Structure 1
Amino acid sequence: MTKGEETKQFILEKAAPIFNTKGIAATAMSDIMEATKLSKGSMYVHFENKDVLACAAVDHNMKILGDKLIAQISKAKTAKEELYTYIEFFSNAVNPPLTGGCPLLNFGTEADDTNPVVKEKINKGIQLNQQLLENSITKGIANGEFKADWNAEDFATVIFAMMEGGHLMSRMSGNNDKMKVIIKTLKNLIEENSI
């Protein structure tokens, strides 16, 4: 990595949690400058403008979260364990796996009407999460862990939507009480469809 690439990566690593916590609109370049101790000129050498940096921060946050999730899921020995691992990974919204919380929820809520580039990035992230869940269910059906008539695509949507909704409710209330109800419900549904 060249010195310039190192500096660009450094800026991105400092900026990503700020954008994820404050949002794109509320994050000022001065926030990034304060975190990096770099001048505005130095920042603009590596990122043309705030929008370019914000898009890179969205990608960075989603990659970090995805890498952490896959690292956990890859330890699972069965499809059922994969589903449980996914649920447990996102179970503590008050102390989430990524600073600022879930970037899909954070950036998706902000960008849905304002930023088509970020909206598309988040939409792809949602699709990847749902596909990951659907693949686990499909694998479990093939392995004889789950009932053959379980609709993998529908349940992947249910898991994702309930976990994101629980994340929002927990972040707003400052506790995980609602998330615990959601987790219990999802695990019961998994058990009902297990053989």
Structure 2
Amino acid sequence: MTKAEKTRQFIIEKSAPIFNTKGISGTVMTDIMEATKLAKGSLYVHFENKEDLSYAAVDHNMQILKDISNKIINKHKTAKGKIIGFLNLFSDPLNHPVFGGCPMLNFGMEADDTSPIIADKVSSMIKEVLQELKEIVDTGIAAGEFKADWDSRKFAVMVFALMEGGNLICRTTKSNAQMKIIVQIIKDEIHRNSL
């Protein structure tokens, strides 16, 4: 990595949590300058404007989310273990594995009407998560862990919607109590479809 590439990466890493916490519209270049200890001119050498930097920050936050999720899922041998691992990872929204909370939820809600580029990034990530959950269930069906008639697509959508909705409820109310109910609902569904 060249010095310029290292500086660019440093700026992204320092600004990503700020964007994820304050939002894109709430983040100002002064925030980035304070976090990086770089002058505004130095920032603009690496990024055309705040919007350009926000795209990189969104990608960075979502990559962190993907890496953490994949690490947990891949630790487990069974499909059931992978799903439970996924649920456990995201069962404490007040201490989300990505600083500032779920970037899909944070950026998706802000960008749906304001930034088609970021909305597309979030949409792609949602589709990836849904596909991965579906494939885990399909693998479990093929391995004889789950009932053959379990609709993996519906389950994936249900898990994603419940977990993201629970994330919103818990972070807004400052309590994880509702997520415990949501996780139990999903675990009951897994149990009903297990062999």
- Per the normalisation by structure 1, the TM-score is 0.99
Give the whole-Å Cα distance in 2 for the aligned partners of 1:191 and 1:157: 17
Structure 1: which 5+ runs fail to align?
A: none
Give how far 1:171 is off: 0.1
What's 2:88 paired with?
Answer: 88
Give how far 1:77 is off: 1.0
Give the whole-Å Cα distance in 1 for the aligned partners of 2:11 and 2:108: 23
Give how far 1:186 is off: 0.4
Q: Deviations over 1:70-125 (max 9, x none)?
A: 01110101000011111111110001001100000000000001100000000000
Identity of aligned residues (%): 54
What's 2:141 paired with?
Answer: 141
Give the whole-Å Cα distance in 2 for the aligned partners of 1:184 and 1:153: 20
Give how far 1:175 is off: 1.1
Give how far 1:4 is off: 0.5
What's 2:182 paired with?
Answer: 182
- Structure 1 residue 164 and structure 2 residue 164: aligned? yes
- Structure 1 residue 28 and structure 2 residue 28: aligned? yes
Give the whole-Å Cα distance in 1 for the aligned partners of 2:142 and 2:12: 42
The amino acid of 1:84's aligned partner reads I
Equivalent residue of 1:94, what SS?
Answer: helix
Equivalent residue of 2:138, what SS?
Answer: helix
**4+ long deviations beyond 6 Å:** none
Structure 2: which 5+ runs fail to align?
A: none
Give the whole-Å Cα distance in 2 for the aligned partners of 1:64 and 1:185: 27
Give how far 1:161 is off: 0.3
Q: Deviations over 1:157-190 (max 9, x none)?
A: 0000000000000001111000000001100000
The amino acid of 2:177's aligned partner reads D
- Per the normalisation by structure 2, the TM-score is 0.99
Q: Deviations over 1:130-152 (max 9, x none)?
A: 01100100000000000000000
The amino acid of 2:32's aligned partner reads I
